[in-house]
Amino acid sequence: MKNKLSEEFKNRFDAEPLFYASAGRINLIGEHTDYNGGFVFPGAIDKVIMAAIAPNDTDKVRMYSIDIDDYAEFGLNEADAPEASWARYIFGVCREILKRGGVVKGFNAVFAGNVPLGAGLSSSAALESCFAFALNDLFNDNQIDKFELAKIGQSTEHNYCGVNCGIMDQFASVMGQKGKLMRLDCRSMEFEYFPFNPEGYELVLIDSRVKHELADSPYNKRRQSCERVAKRLGIETLRDATMEMLDSIRTDITAEDYFRAKFVIEEKSRVLAVCDALNAGDYETVGKKMYETHHGLSYDYEVSCEELDFLNDIAKECGVSGSRIMGGGFGGCTINLVKKDLRDSFIKTAKAKFNEKYGHEPSVYPVVISDGAHKEE
């Protein structure tokens, strides 16, 4: 990818760039808990967005996306975001750095990636984190700390892209380390790295290829439901809620809000159970919890779709240890924890059965837990 970027950059801008990369992410468990002050369990993966960048001594940002084959530019003193949705992520990152008193000068950039778009692997967080990291290195002497870089990405989503997301994706993209997942407490922002080398198992992502778009999606509505219930309970977030508390207000809230909150409360204990299971090397319990999460996301949180439920059923039939929707939902991937000796037959069956029902094969991505945002030497 570096060669491709280098060639394009030199042809377009006639200069030598520096290279930066940031990864997509997986999340083992803890879905829709980040914006509820709960726990998540993500890691960065070996699918990245990479950018070739160099300052251009102007006050303009000029950028080209190789994958979309589109060029855009904006002035750093302009308040209006560019029209192209991909360019808004970079515009937002620049504005958010400036807002915090950081420095951004004009630069040229070319970028490309192998994080599949709309598959729930958070290509948008990878893009934001890549540019936030690069601009910190190029113009701020790396003085903006890594948490703040993640927050810059999150604020970009909120203020320029219409997605009221939590912090998980940007945190994983920035803080990820090879071979390690992280348990992040999204209230205190304390986190712990967990080595993740499940001997005898692999993580396989199966992409339904149903495209999800979180902006204007029911994602923001899910968040509003949770906030309404927390407010009704007189607490800041659902992190402090229990099923007893929720049941005590059941008749005062809508059934929809009740089931959204129920999922979040139950998911909180599943993450903690998974931590204990990982500490004990008990991957079958990890897998069992993943199935429970899928059930909750499908029936209570209602962010699944027919295709993802179908993939989850196939996993169960094939004896896969754990399987669930990953990320915001409404399409994208299932994440599967599968014994190595079952892997090939599972993938073969999933492809065949899915194809038979939906007329196209799902995509399969094996993933390796890798480093988050970094400079490529």
Q: Please identify every residue annotated as catalytic.
A: 169
- Kindly indicate which of the ranges 95-103, 162-170, 175-183, 195-203 contains the residues binding ligand GAF, using the contact rule CB under 6 A: 162-170
> Taking the mean position of all CA atoms in its chain, how far away is CA 90?
17
Of 32 and 151, CB closest to ligand GAF: 32
For residue 201, give every residue at least 6 positions away whose Cβ sits within 8 Å of its Cβ, in sequence order, or none: 283, 321, 337, 338, 339, 340
327 binds ligand GAF (CB under 6 A): yes
CB of 34 to ligand GAF, least distance (A): 5
Give me the residue label for tokens 């779709």: 305
Of 37 and 166, CB closest to ligand GAF: 166
Of 35 and 64, CB closest to ligand GAF: 35
102 binds ligand GAF (CB under 6 A): no
CB of 328 to ligand GAF, least distance (A): 3
Residue in 166, 176, 296, 372 binding ligand GAF, rule: CB under 6 A: 166
Structure tokens at 83: 């029209």
- Kindly indicate which of the ranges 44-52, 100-108, 163-171, 247-255 contains the residues binding ligand GAF, using the contact rule CB under 6 A: 163-171
43 binds ligand GAF (CB under 6 A): no
Of 36 and 65, CB closest to ligand GAF: 36
Of 169 and 257, CB closest to ligand GAF: 169
CB of 224 to ligand GAF, least distance (A): 13
CB of 19 to ligand GAF, least distance (A): 26
CB of 256 to ligand GAF, least distance (A): 18
CB of 109 to ligand GAF, least distance (A): 23
Binding positions for ligand GAF, 120-159, rule CB under 6 A: 122
Residue in 32, 88, 151, 324 binding ligand GAF, rule: CB under 6 A: 32
165 binds ligand GAF (CB under 6 A): yes
Of 169 and 309, CB closest to ligand GAF: 169
Residue in 9, 19, 20, 35 binding ligand GAF, rule: CB under 6 A: 35
The count of residues interacting with ligand GAF (CB under 6 A) is 11
Beta partners for 25?
Answer: 44
Structure tokens at 58: 């102007």
Q: Can you give the binding site for ligand GAF, defined by CB under 6 A?
A: 31-32, 34-35, 122, 165-166, 168-169, 327-328
